[in-house]
Amino acid sequence: MVKIDEAKLQDLLTRGVEEIIDREELLRALRSGKPLRVKLGIDPTSPNIHIGRAGVLWKLRAFQELGHKVAFIIGDFTAVIGDTSDKESERPMMTATEVKKNIETYFKQASKIIDPKKAEMHYNSKWLKKLGFHEIGKMADAFGLHEFESRENISKRMKAGKRVSLRELLYPLMQGYDSVAVKADVELGGTDQRFNLLAGRTIQPLYGQKPQNILTRKLMEGTDGRKMSSSWGNVINIADEPNDMFGKVMSINDNLILKYFELATNISLSEIKEIKESLEGGKNPRDAKFRLAHEIVKLYHGEKKANGARDGFIATFQKKEIPLGIPEVRAKKDSLLRDALVGAGIIASNSEFFRLCRDGAISGVDGREKITDPGTKLVVPATLRIGKHRFVKIIIN
């Protein structure tokens, strides 16, 4: 049953929202009492969903709580093709093996936010693999080359003489066809997805469907101030351990505190206004960050673990103690540190290990003895700091 709650509707259509197409039409539809089909697709370009991407999942949850039908699509096919909406160079095609590895826990992660029992879960390979040249040609005919050339990132690359592959131009058609496949009334996405979302509105009438309405959400900056992106490693993942998540939030720039409260927590806008006023009145930003980090960890791990992460952070960084319960990795003497940390999943990949070494982000607990050689071997037991907020104990077998 659809709920018509004006306060919740206004929050749904304003909090963290950048643009709605068509706002008046969507508002009429929401007030009609008819359940809408609301779509969100995410490409598994990395194994984890970060809190920036989670923002649109929370919007999907809000539609779900009002009684609307939600369709969550994992773009296992579109991930292979590659979306370059926010890229300054051509995104390489992913292999099917890479995609398969990345999607292993996607539904489980998404289910931290949306109710899986009340949601449709899809892989878009189910329908995109079946498309032939006739269907692709039919959709391609609805677009002009000038429309693709006018996209900011494509235009910049062409002016700079960089390659733009025909494959990249097919991506919006595929995302648009996803809307046809699930008969979407509404599609959600980040502001960087605007062209792809509009493609759905263009393609749906070709199949006798009414063009979907669109709701775009503001993008979040990551821990280094740039757009949050798995490829840049500046992310806070919803599956991060509580201590790691808490520490990452505490590391963000002070000027992002209010934006994070709006986009990454569920506390009321009136409370956020009070926090804003207290910061403007001279309150220490660190105190607001403590509240922010606690709220975010609580959202994904519960209050008990959020309290533990807060206490651990205080012990580690204010009292200079090593936190309890840090992970232990067992390895043979003279084996490579890289193999031990990557093999145990402490560090995601060899390339990530190389980057951390290059940046001097792996060190002894005091932060002075930095490990910069990727070929470092294990000799004695040690407790290491990775970045500012992670610790690991190496035990020699």
Give yes or no for residue 63 having a pLDDT over 90. yes
Instruction: Indicate the residue type of 49.
Output: I
Instruction: Please count the residues of the chain.
Output: 397
pLDDT at 67: 95
Give yes or no for residue 91 having a pLDDT over 80. no
Rounded to two decimals, what is the model's pTM? 0.79
At 211, list the tokens. 């063009």
Winning range, highest mean pLDDT, from 61-65, 159-163, 326-330: 61-65
pLDDT at 319: 62
Give yes or no for residue 48 having a pLDDT over 70. yes
pLDDT at 228: 93
Winning range, highest mean pLDDT, from 19-28, 321-330, 361-370: 19-28
Give yes or no for residue 325 having a pLDDT over 80. no
pLDDT at 208: 97
What confidence category does residue 199 fall into, taking pLDDT thresholds of 50, 70 and 90?
A: very high
With left for phi above 0 and alpha for psi between -120 and 50, is residue 258 left, alpha or beta?
alpha
At 137, list the tokens. 């040609």
pLDDT at 360: 85
In whole angstroms, what separates CA 25 from the centre of its chain?
28
At 396, list the tokens. 């020699």
Give yes or no for residue 167 having a pLDDT over 90. no
What confidence category does residue 365 fall into, taking pLDDT thresholds of 50, 70 and 90?
A: low
What confidence category does residue 324 fall into, taking pLDDT thresholds of 50, 70 and 90?
A: low
Of residues 323 and 207, more confidence is placed in 207
Averaged pLDDT for residues 154-172: 82
pLDDT at 330: 85
pLDDT at 158: 80
Of residues 379 and 151, more confidence is placed in 151
User: How, if at all, do strands 390-396 and 37-42 pair?
Assistant: unpaired
Give yes or no for residue 93 having a pLDDT over 90. no
pLDDT at 182: 97
Give yes or no for residue 316 having a pLDDT over 80. no
- Computed over every residue of the chain, the mean pLDDT equals 89
Q: Tens digits of per-residue pLDDT, 212-256?
A: 999 999 999 998 899 998 878 889 999 999 988 998 999 899 999
pLDDT at 26: 96
Percent of the chain at pLDDT above 90?
A: 56
Averaged pLDDT for residues 23-29: 94
Taking Cα atoms as reference points, which of 153, 142, 147, 128 lies closest to residue 43? Answer: 128
Could you give all domains of the chain from N- to C-terminal order, each with its CATH number?
6-220 (3.40.50.620), 240-318 (1.10.240.10), 328-396 (3.10.290.10)
Percent of the chain at pLDDT above 70?
A: 94
Lowest mean pLDDT among 297-301, 311-315, 362-366: 362-366
